[in-house]
Amino acid sequence: MRSHPLFLVYGVAILALTGFAQYRGFTFSRVNQLNNVPKSIRDNPGAYRSHYGFYPRYIGGK
Amino acid sequence: MSSTAVSPPVVKAKALYCPQCGGPVELRGFAHTLSVVCPQCGSVLDTSGPLVHILQKAQEQQRIEPGIPLGTRGKLDGGEFEVIGFQIRTITVDGVPYSWAEYLLFNPYRGFAYLSEYQGHWNFIRVLPLLPSQSGKLVRVEGRGYMLFQRAVATTTYVLGEFPWKAKVGDTAEVNDYVSPPLVVSAEKTDQEVVWSRGDYRTGAEIWKAFNLPGRPPAAIGVYENQPSPYGGELGSLWRTYIWLMVALAALMFWFTVSAGYKAAFQDHYVFSPGAKIEPSFVTPVFDLNGHTSAVRVDIHTDLDNSWAYFNLALINNTDGHAYDFGKEVSYYHGVEDGESWSEGSKKASATVPAVPAGRYYLRIEPELNEKQTSDMSYDVEVHRGVPSYGLFVLAGLLLLIPPIIGTIRRASFEAARWRESDYGGSGA
């Protein structure tokens, strides 16, 4: 049961990268990041303007 | 087959004179030689009897020098063989002639063997001591199956040296080749007999080394009928390695799934009233996200029924004001149409926020609801920390699949190139 040495190195690198990405919480999800959201948002949530306006919304049904 | 190398004794060759030109002719195959070509005039001489007869007068073609000179000795298959004969044989396929060279080798203890060469591809050939079993396009020799590759009539177009049969230009034989790389089994049919032989593929470098020839062998062109695939053994090890890596990937996925745990960092229940004339957005209490930087998943479970809702969400760090802004739609529809029930969508949905550092956070939630819906929507929100991204595992699995897929394609291409030269297609084995 001989393994392929080059593929083994490649595969272990893929597994290591996958493990690292999982540990650090990388995903394919898209989110916008904003800095310095004022604390006043907690008292007035309506003052916050979402920056996620381009997200496609489903409005249908069969 | 013995593995002991036995060098033939240095025996003085028997000499005779060519009745055509009077030139001296040496015989290296002793009493086995039934014909020999005069090296001076090219006449083929019959040496089967006490008197030498001319079997064929001088060949008209231009003299051809074999790549391995007559008289050269080399070690093959554990024995030392001397090149005593050389012939060129030609087949014609669709009007195109294809020629290959055959060297007759002799060892007093091991008998005769052959070396064939076509476009830099070599075969070491021995006559089979047993008759293969034959079934359609398949023959079996010692339990190994060989597929029919080629059937053609070969004509001897040039001879040089000596042979244990009365070889001459114009001799014909029907040649059937059956392949099982790196071996080939050939049946040569003449009016008198059928001779089965088995060839073992050799590279030019192996032949040059065996005969200690100067220079470099001619480069091999194309894929030969019994040339072993360079990807054959590699492919097996590629797929074996792939299986082991997939097992490791599955273990990694299991470990991250189990270590993520199921305890929510935050959870609460809410009700959205579409008729209420109040600001729909609100914030949750502050909660802790502990540990190292990792992904955060927000789960929303609703009681939607033939409706949709959209949630504008922001995960905001209560300390530094850093916000992750995202959204999630939930929709669930069902019904009966033409007597068949159907449903689409789901009452629940999840959104994942990548690489969130530890800290104290809160969620800002702003629900929107289908304007046709007048009833309240109740929903639960859960926040989970350290969740694995299964998309990354899928990506890793696909990346791991690339080398064995490439290996499989390369091997298939090699086999396709082999069988393109065949009239019988083959199984690609």
Q: How far apart are CA B88 and CA B155, in angstroms?
A: 8
Would you place residue B428 in the very low, low, confident or very high pLDDT band (cuts 50, 70, 90)? Answer: very low
Instruction: Please name which of B79, B152, B314 lies closest in space to residue A33, comparing C-alpha atoms.
Output: B314
For residue B41, report the phi and psi dihedrals to the nearest 5 degrees.
-105, -10
Top pLDDT among B30 and B236 is at B236
Give the largest Cα separation in chain A, rounded.
66
Distance to chain A for B263, nearest Cα, Å: 17
Q: How far apart are CA B89 and CA B159, in angstroms?
A: 9
The mean pLDDT of B52-61, rounded to a whole number, is 70
Question: Contacts of residue B295 in chain A, CB cutoff 8 Å?
Answer: 25-27
Question: Contacts of residue B310 in chain A, CB cutoff 8 Å?
Answer: 57
The mean pLDDT of B131-143, rounded to a whole number, is 91
Instruction: Please name which of B209, B217, B5, B23 lies closest in space to residue B101, comparing C-alpha atoms.
Output: B217
Tell me the CATH number for domain B261-388.
Answer: 2.60.120.380
Is residue A37 assigned to a domain?
yes
Does position B373 have pLDDT exceeding 60, yes or no?
yes
Which of A29, A39, A41, A43 is the best residue to mutate to test the B interface, defined by the most B CB atoms within 10 Å of its own CB? A29
Is residue A26 assigned to a domain?
yes
Would you place residue B374 in the very low, low, confident or very high pLDDT band (cuts 50, 70, 90)? Answer: confident
For residue B260, report the phi and psi dihedrals to the nearest 5 degrees.
-65, -30
Task: Report pLDDT for B363.
Answer: 96
Does position B14 have pLDDT exceeding 70, yes or no?
no
Please say whether the beta carbons of B356 and B331 come within 8 A.
no
Q: Model-level pTM greater than 0.90? A: no
Rounded (10°) angle between helices B390-420 and B232-260: 170
Does position B84 have pLDDT exceeding 70, yes or no?
yes
Interior angle at CA B171, CA B420 and CA B197, nearest 5? 55
Distance to chain A for B147, nearest Cα, Å: 28
Is residue A55 assigned to a domain?
no
Indicate yes or no: CB of B281 within 8 angstroms of CB of A48: yes
The mean pLDDT of B185-193, rounded to a whole number, is 91
Is residue A35 assigned to a domain?
yes
Indicate yes or no: CB of B308 within 8 angstroms of CB of A42: no
Question: Contacts of residue A31 in chain B, CB cutoff 8 Å?
Answer: 324-326, 353-354
Q: How far apart are CA B222 and CA B420, in angstroms?
A: 11
Q: How far apart are CA B32 and CA A61, in angstroms?
A: 92
Does position B270 have pLDDT exceeding 90, yes or no?
yes
Distance to chain B for A40, nearest Cα, Å: 10
State the average pLDDT for chain B. 89
Indicate yes or no: CB of B344 within 8 angstroms of CB of A32: no
ipTM over 0.85: no
CB-based burial label for B182 (10 Å; 0-12, 13-18, 19+): middle
Is residue A11 assigned to a domain?
yes
Q: Which domain holds residue A11?
A: 5-45
- Continuous segment of H or E residues that includes residue B368: strand B359-369
- Using one digit for the tens of pLDDT, what is the confidence trace for B332-369? 999 999 999 999 999 999 999 999 999 999 999 999 99
The mean pLDDT of B161-167, rounded to a whole number, is 86
Q: Domain locations in chain B?
A: 14-228, 261-388
Identify the closest residue of chain A to B363 by CA–CA distance.
A42
Position B280, amino acid: P
Q: How far apart are CA B360 and CA B266, in angstroms?
A: 11
Q: How far apart are CA A46 and CA B4, in angstroms?
A: 94
Task: Report pLDDT for B426.
Answer: 57
Distance to chain A for B371, nearest Cα, Å: 10
Q: Report the Cα–Cα distance between both ends of chain B, in Å, rounded.
A: 27
Taking the CA atoms of chain A, what radius of gyration do you get in angstroms? 22
Would you place residue B13 in the very low, low, confident or very high pLDDT band (cuts 50, 70, 90)? Answer: low
Is residue A54 assigned to a domain?
no
**CB-CB neighbours of B85 under 10 Å:** 27
Top pLDDT among B94 and B226 is at B226
User: Which one of A19, A26, A60 has the shortest CB-CB distance to B354?
Assistant: A26
Identify the closest residue of chain A to B295 by CA–CA distance.
A25
Is residue A59 assigned to a domain?
no
Which residues are CB-neighbours of B327 under 8 A, at least 6 positions away? A50, A52, A55, A57, B310, B311, B312, B313, B351
- Using one digit for the tens of pLDDT, what is the confidence trace for A14-25? 999 999 999 999
Instruction: Please name which of B141, B137, B139 lies closest in space to residue B127, comparing C-alpha atoms.
Output: B141
The mean pLDDT of B119-144, rounded to a whole number, is 93
| Structural domain count of chain A | 1
The mean pLDDT of B243-247, rounded to a whole number, is 96
Is residue A9 assigned to a domain?
yes
Would you place residue B3 in the very low, low, confident or very high pLDDT band (cuts 50, 70, 90)? Answer: very low
